[in-house]
Amino acid sequence: MTEIRSGLVVQHGATRNLVLPDGTDPGQGDQHYSCVLRGKLRQGRRERVRPVVIGDRVRFTVIQGSERQGAIEEILPRRNAISRPQPSGGQHRKLEQAVVANLDRLWVVVSLAQPPLNRRFLDRILAAAAHQSVDAGVLLNKIDLADAADPQPLLSTYAALGYPVHVLSAIARDGLDGLGAALEGSIHAFVGLSGVGKSSLLRALQPGLELRVAEVGERHGHGRHTTTASRLFWLPEVGGWVADTPGMREFGLWGAFQRELSDCFPEMLELAPDCRFRDCMHRREPGCAVIAAMEDGTVDEERYASYRALLTELPVDEFDQRR
């Protein structure tokens, strides 16, 4: 008799995915099934790069006579997902590249020292999360370094916008208790540029965690302890799941249009009703409440610069073009 089970995708590979079956204790050894995608699901690659990603809930058939092998039959509806346009170098027509699904919170990890703080990247990820209905927060890492920037201005700016912010040092273990409490009992993802310390934070939260990740079904390679594939890790010390993703140098807003962008910035969403024109894009329009607030210091100037930079990347939808 065919055995069908449900589970959580904890690692995405080129040809196989690791799935943890429901009802399994994630801390009790290797309980995963190595699963292929059924052909009908692989057809989804015509419209998106990854039909299944870490965090997906799936139904899979256990392959009889095999050692913990399976075939994914169905991807269950997602609560949310973080997606981006396929990075440059792909096809001319951009495809959707989902990164992680069913998140309770997406944390943007930034460095206060090396690599240098990148406000544009930070605001890009926060806007992408808002557009895709994912709660987000900010992790300010490397506070222990001598050349670390003062975290207080960033802490004040983003906390005032409603984002949870943690000031951390993976090396000195500063702030880890508060972060661990925030991760308990839920699924989270760390996203950041290469070198900001995502993997170091995970090892600090869960000492002994092995982060050298190889593609599912391939041989384990040798080299530095850096992330080479997306993986959802169970942290027993915390009691929650955290995704560690490869450093992303390019992250766009999938499916967003220019007129939607201001809704992804909480301060602009609040001020927009006070603009003179209902369709104000907060660029040069007279009577713009956002520009006025930026000029008097109510809206952070760097945040506004991030908005303007993102605006140039987004398309104008057909409705706006006909106006």
d(CA 204, CA 141): 12
Does pLDDT of 186 surpass 80? yes
Looking at residue 221, what is its pLDDT?
28
Looking at residue 319, what is its pLDDT?
53
Looking at residue 251, what is its pLDDT?
65
Average pLDDT over residues 279-308: 96
* pLDDT band per the 50, 70, 90 thresholds, residue 145: very high
Where, residue-wise, is CATH 3.40.50.300 in the chain? Answer: 98-244
Does pLDDT of 222 surpass 80? no
Looking at residue 244, what is its pLDDT?
73
Looking at residue 93, what is its pLDDT?
61
Does pLDDT of 173 surpass 70? yes
Looking at residue 290, what is its pLDDT?
98
Looking at residue 318, what is its pLDDT?
54
Question: pLDDT by residue (tens digit) across 25-65?
Answer: 898 878 899 999 987 776 655 556 778 999 999 999 999 88
Looking at residue 99, what is its pLDDT?
84
Does pLDDT of 259 surpass 90? yes
**Assigned fold of 98-244:** Rossmann fold (3.40.50)
Does pLDDT of 321 surpass 70? no
Pick the CATH number of 258-315 from 3.30.300.130, 1.10.40.50, 2.60.40.60, 1.10.3720.10: 1.10.40.50
Number of other CB atoms surrounding residue 29 within 10 Å: 8
Looking at residue 216, what is its pLDDT?
43
Select from 315, 322, 211, 181 the least CA-distant residue to 259: 315
Structure tokens belonging to residue 28: 């009790």
Looking at residue 320, what is its pLDDT?
55
Question: pLDDT by residue (tens digit) across 56-74?
Answer: 999 999 998 888 999 999 9
State the average pLDDT for the chain: 86
Where, residue-wise, is CATH 2.40.50.140 in the chain? Answer: 3-81
Instruction: Using alpha carbons, list the distances in angstroms from residue 247 to 27, 99, 187, 216.
Output: 27, 12, 19, 19
Number of other CB atoms surrounding residue 30 within 10 Å: 7
Rounded to two decimals, the pTM is 0.85
CB 190 within 8 A of CB 111: no
d(CA 100, CA 10): 10
Question: pLDDT by residue (tens digit) across 107-138?
Answer: 999 999 989 999 999 999 999 999 999 999 99
Structure tokens belonging to residue 6: 């449900």
Where, residue-wise, is CATH 1.10.40.50 in the chain? Answer: 258-315
- In CATH, the number for domain 3-81 is 2.40.50.140
d(CA 97, CA 255): 11
Instruction: Using alpha carbons, list the distances in angstroms from residue 322 to 160, 196, 280, 285.
Output: 38, 44, 17, 20
Looking at residue 43, what is its pLDDT?
63
